Amino acid sequence: MVTAKPDPCALDRCVLCRCCNPEWSERVAKSRTVFHYEKGQDIFTEGKVVQGLYFIYSGAVKVHQSWGPGNEFILRFAVSGDVLGHRALVSGADSPISATALERTTLCHLDNTFLGATIKANPSFAHMMMQLYATELQKAEKRMRDLAMMPVKSRVAETLFVIREVLGSDAEGYFRIPVTRIDIAGYAGTTYEAVFRLLTAWARDGLVTIAGKKIRINEEEKLRALIQYFTL
Amino acid sequence: MVTAKPDPCALDRCVLCRCCNPEWSERVAKSRTVFHYEKGQDIFTEGKVVQGLYFIYSGAVKVHQSWGPGNEFILRFAVSGDVLGHRALVSGADSPISATALERTTLCHLDNTFLGATIKANPSFAHMMMQLYATELQKAEKRMRDLAMMPVKSRVAETLFVIREVLGSDAEGYFRIPVTRIDIAGYAGTTYEAVFRLLTAWARDGLVTIAGKKIRINEEEKLRALIQYFTL
DNA sequence: AGCCAAACCTGACAAAAATCAGGTTTCCCC
DNA sequence: GGGGAAACCTGATTTTTGTCAGGTTTGGCT
């Protein structure tokens, strides 16, 4: 992890930068710390308390928690413009969470003291953060329901759509960032083997194409039908 | 559902009332609508768009979503001081949600227009709502993980603790409000039969006592051990 | 080039959980 | 007090899902 000299955040991408008064931006520029992470590096880990918020400038990140021996649950994927470290703004007991870069990632960090001052001085920032949390909460509620009620097959199908949606796809429709089956399982809340078998079956039937590490959704409708039945 | 004349909200219980300037309270008093609901009545249902926020003055509510034929998922239980209707503050597509009274419940409602004005005029209200959402989000993330990774047995055990925690217990330790096994299943994300079998087994082993509709946790530690193993 | 770890692959098996198909009891409403 | 719906109870069965125990391939590092 290296503190950046070239190509810092241009103060135009994240919630914070977009919501503050111009004169506050100068204080943001002074208070922030910009970090670079390479693929596979941890931005923060379960052991330590997360202080402050991280705003992703570019790259992609998975937010996850280890679970028992050798399992991990992926809470979400985050990319440019997203915020990491919800807990910063909530006092008290936080559940231990890690964030790991999925590709070269640049982000900036602001500490709690500065954020507190920002909220007081910029009502629209507090408002935006409230909106952001409310939106996240809604998504979380949907996902809770899905994890609780949908069979593994549907959850894995949905995970593929989420990955494509959040992480993006390239010109040929393949996921922009190769995601391991282990990570797919971690997001869908199932085992590696279950994911493997489903992907193999779908590839055989042409619903998806698997080219080495890369995955592409072919038959959008058929794959979505596996979810839809249970969304009724 | 009847608009209340006697015993309205005393303007001291909910986030809204506690965070606003005194002079704003007068406007709150004028803008709110107080409602009473009897046990079993719907406060809002999946069909309609929820407009505005509901603040629970007294009583208990379950927030739920129907799922396929005859199933429902319970998102959360809410009691005095809690807020219903997150979606109000988020623009756009909301997932359909219902709220049903579990006992006689009094709550007040404020529409979006008024809330928008409130946020602008009371920075501390926006701040409080942000905190509230952030806290809810953290809980939701924990629950997502639990629903994804824990076996049914642990989820049901945890549900019992949540119900006792949120809905409260009486002098003898029984849940203050009788919750059906169907609702327990709905919260734990499993079937009625699974809940039934677990409760029967636990009652046989003395971990819980079941007296008609009422449930009490006896052996706190043993029951918690069924969860804890998987929280490591 | 060789080594190691991580990811990938596969089938057999076991366990967990849901479904089904019958009941009985309780509670509310008329 | 009678009728009907909802909740409760139970065992048998089937499906789903996870576990285990072996592999192979890939990719980075020295």
**Quick one: three-class SS letters along A183-221?**
HHHHHHCCCHHHHHHHHHHHHHCCCEEEECCEEEECCHH
Contact B184, A148 (CB under 8 A): no
Q: Give the list of residues 6+ apart from residue A159 with CB closer than 8 angstroms, or none.
A: A184, A187, A188
Confidence bin at A8 (pLDDT 50/70/90):
low
**What is the reported pLDDT for A20?**
78
Confidence bin at B93 (pLDDT 50/70/90):
low
**What sign results for the dihedral spanned by CA atoms B65, B71, B73, B78?**
positive
- CB spacing of B142 vs A189 below 8 angstroms: no
**What is the reported pLDDT for A197?**
96
Is residue A116 classed as helix, strand or coil in its secondary structure? helix
B21 vs B101: which has the higher pLDDT: B101
Q: Which of residues 188-207 of A touch strand C (CB under 7 A)?
A: 192-193, 196-197, 199-200
pLDDT (average), residues B133-144: 92
Distance D26 C1' – A181 CA (angstroms)? 14
Whether the per-residue pLDDT at A119 is higher than 50: the answer is: yes
Q: In angstroms, what CA-CA distances link A85 with A55, A89, A210, B138?
A: 9, 8, 34, 10
Report which DSSP code applies to B169. Answer: B
Tens digit of pLDDT for each residue in A84-99?
A: 987 767 766 667 889 9
A189 contacts in B (CB within 8 Å)? 147-149
Tokens (6 digits) for B8: 């309205």
Determine the Cα–Cα distance for residues B8 and A119; give it in Å rounded to an integer: 33
Confidence bin at B157 (pLDDT 50/70/90):
very high
**What is the reported pLDDT for A231?**
56
- CB spacing of A90 vs B136 below 8 angstroms: no
Determine the Cα–Cα distance for residues A2 and A23; give it in Å rounded to an integer: 28
Determine the Cα–Cα distance for residues B67 and A229; give it in Å rounded to an integer: 10
- CB spacing of B75 vs A144 below 8 angstroms: yes
The string of DSSP codes covering chain B is -EE-SSS---SSSSHHHHHS-HHHHHHHHHH-EEEEE-TT-EEE-TTSPP-SEEEEEESEEEEEEEETTTEEEEEEEEETT-EE-GGGGS-S-----EEEESSSEEEEEE-HHHHHHHHHH-HHHHHHHHHHHHHHHHHHHHHHHHHHHS-HHHHHHHHHHHHHHHH-B-TTSBBSS---HHHHHHHHTS-HHHHHHHHHHHHHTTSEEEETTEEEE--HHHHHHHHHHHH-
* Residue A90 contacts B where some CB pair is shorter than 8 Å: yes
- CB spacing of A145 vs B67 below 8 angstroms: yes
Count of CB pairs separated by less than 8 Å, A with B: 113
Contact A191, A185 (CB under 8 A): yes
pLDDT (average), residues B173-178: 94
Tens digit of pLDDT for each residue in A202-228?
A: 999 999 999 888 999 999 999 999 997
Q: Which residues of B165-199 are buried (b: 16+ CB within 10 A; e: fewer)?
A: ebbebeeeebbbbebebbbbbbbbbbebebbeebb
Alpha carbon B53 to its chain's center:
14
A230 vs B187: which has the higher pLDDT: B187
Distance in Å, alpha carbon of B187 to nearest chain A alpha carbon: 9
Residue nearest to nucleotide D18 (CA to C1'): A191
Amino acid at A156: V
- Of A213, A201, A206, the closest CA to residue A170 belongs to A213
| Strand C within 7 A of B194 CB | yes
Whether the per-residue pLDDT at B203 is higher than 50: the answer is: yes
- CB spacing of B67 vs A133 below 8 angstroms: no
Tens digit of pLDDT for each residue in A141-170?
A: 999 999 999 999 999 999 999 999 999 999
**What sign results for the dihedral spanned by CA atoms B70, B76, B81, B84?**
negative
Could you count the other beta carbons within 10 Å of the beta carbon of residue A89? Answer: 22
**What is the reported pLDDT for B4?**
45
**Quick one: three-class SS letters along A23-47?**
HHHHHHHHHCEEEEECCCCEEECCC
Distance C1 C1' – A181 CA (angstroms)? 30
Distance in Å, alpha carbon of A121 to nearest chain B alpha carbon: 10
**What is the reported pLDDT for B6?**
47
* Average pLDDT along chain B: 88
Contact B156, B188 (CB under 8 A): yes
Determine the Cα–Cα distance for residues B159 and B186; give it in Å rounded to an integer: 10
Share of chain B above pLDDT 90, in %: 60
Is residue A199 classed as helix, strand or coil in its secondary structure? helix
Whether the per-residue pLDDT at A2 is higher than 60: the answer is: no
Distance C25 C1' – B208 CA (angstroms)? 22
Tens digit of pLDDT for each residue in B22-81?
A: 788 888 888 999 999 999 999 998 777 778 899 999 999 999 998 877 789 999 999 999
pLDDT (average), residues B208-220: 93
**What is the reported pLDDT for B20?**
79
Distance C28 C1' – B1 CA (angstroms)? 19
